[in-house]
């Protein structure tokens, strides 16, 4: 099984970041010197993905522009000896293919994935939610691809959460534990109460799914009656005999779907940056000394 395609659903309105997102796509808000979505694409490319389908809305043309070539800017930077500034994004543009599909209405994650059916075909594929940035020694999606290849089945990323936070996540029901980090799932519950949660393992924004998810999404609630949830589609796959596994993804996850989470990502990733890290560390140490001394 070779997995080279991925979907990035990026059509959300970003209301938690208003007024900043009135004119700027949430996924284009910066973490240090790169827009958040570039970290997602870099993870996928490092995992072997070469073909991306980005689900967007018509107000997010900045996403298209970012992953397109800019010859005049490249020439200007080269003349000034600053071409290294765009080395990372230009490498992505040279080595990856991008397709954009418009989601005219916010009809749920399942609906967004269904819109990409024609670009995926009869293959396994990755899904990366742009609100989740995962930093670790191995790319997050690559971890799931390895499990999918090992089990010849779909796999979703999970992490342990305090049970009182279950209502903010999709939560898995466990059929069988394979290892300390791998489970076969029996079902999924979207945003259960603490008492209804079947486990403390919550779904986070990485998936490797069989193309059969499209059939399951077709089979469940029509999106015209409300939002079509991806978790419901995966649950339908399981009920119809498909094996689906959950893997405790390794690495640190930043939830950039809210302003505080984006700030934490800037600090956490900034501290690991070879140029910014030492400066940030000195800044924090200085401020801590000021606080202890009472100099606020």
pLDDT digits (tens, 9 = 90+) for 13-67: 889 999 999 888 999 999 999 999 999 999 999 999 999 999 998 888 899 999 9
- The per-residue pLDDT for 89 is 93
- The per-residue pLDDT for 227 is 86
Placement of tokens 């996403």 in the chain: 63
Is the bond into 19 cis (omega within 30 degrees of 0)?
yes
Please indicate, yes or no, whether the overall pTM of this predicted structure exceeds 0.85: yes
- The per-residue pLDDT for 110 is 94
- The per-residue pLDDT for 289 is 61
> What DSSP state is assigned to residue 166?
G
- The per-residue pLDDT for 101 is 95
Least Cα distance to 247 among 162, 149, 167 occurs for 149
**Nearby residues of 192 by Cβ (< 8 Å), 6 or more positions away:** 166, 167, 171, 198
- The per-residue pLDDT for 296 is 42
Q: What is the pLDDT along the chain (296 residues), one digit of tens a residue?
A: 899 999 999 998 889 999 999 888 999 999 999 999 999 999 999 999 999 999 998 888 899 999 999 889 888 888 898 888 889 999 999 999 999 999 988 889 999 999 999 999 999 999 999 999 999 999 999 999 999 999 999 999 999 999 999 988 889 999 999 999 999 999 998 889 998 999 999 999 999 999 999 999 999 876 555 789 999 999 999 999 999 999 999 999 999 999 999 999 999 999 999 988 898 888 888 766 664 454 44
Count of residues making up the chain: 296
Instruction: Judge whether 201 and 183 are in contact, CB under 8 Å.
Output: yes
- The per-residue pLDDT for 292 is 47
Alpha carbon distance 182, 254 (integer Å): 22
């Amino acid at each position: 099984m070779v997995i080279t395609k991925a979907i990035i659903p990026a059509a959300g309105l970003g209301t938690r970041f208003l007024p900043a997102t009135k004119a700027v796509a949430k996924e284009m808000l910066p973490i240090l010197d790169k827009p958040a979505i570039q970290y997602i694409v870099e993870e996928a490319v490092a995992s072997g993905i070469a073909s991306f389908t980005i689900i967007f809305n018509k107000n997010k043309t900045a996403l298209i522009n970012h992953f397109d070539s800019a010859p005049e800017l490249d020439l200007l930077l080269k003349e000034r000896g600053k071409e290294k500034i765009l080395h990372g994004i230009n490498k992505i543009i040279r080595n990856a293919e991008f397709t954009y599909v418009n989601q005219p209405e916010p009809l749920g994650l399942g609906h967004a994935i269904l819109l990409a059916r024609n670009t995926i075909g009869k293959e396994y594929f990755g899904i990366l939610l742009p609100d989740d940035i995962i930093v670790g020694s191995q790319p997050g999606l690559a971890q799931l691809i390895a499990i999918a290849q090992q089990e010849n089945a779909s796999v979703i990323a999970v992490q342990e959460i305090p049970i009182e936070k279950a209502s903010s996540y999709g939560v898995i029901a466990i059929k069988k534990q394979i290892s300390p980090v791998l489970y076969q799932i029996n079902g999924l519950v979207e945003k259960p109460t603490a008492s209804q949660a079947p486990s403390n393992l919550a779904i986070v924004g990485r998936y490797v799914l069989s193309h059969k998810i499209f059939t399951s999404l077709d089979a469940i609630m029509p999106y015209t009656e409300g939002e079509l949830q991806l978790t419901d589609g995966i649950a339908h796959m399981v009920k119809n005999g498909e094996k689906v596994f959950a893997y405790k993804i390794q690495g640190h996850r930043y939830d950039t779907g809210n302003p505080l989470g984006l700030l934490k990502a800037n600090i956490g990733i900034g501290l690991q940056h070879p140029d910014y890290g030492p400066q940030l560390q000195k800044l924090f140490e200085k401020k801590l000394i000021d606080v202890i001394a009472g100099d606020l």
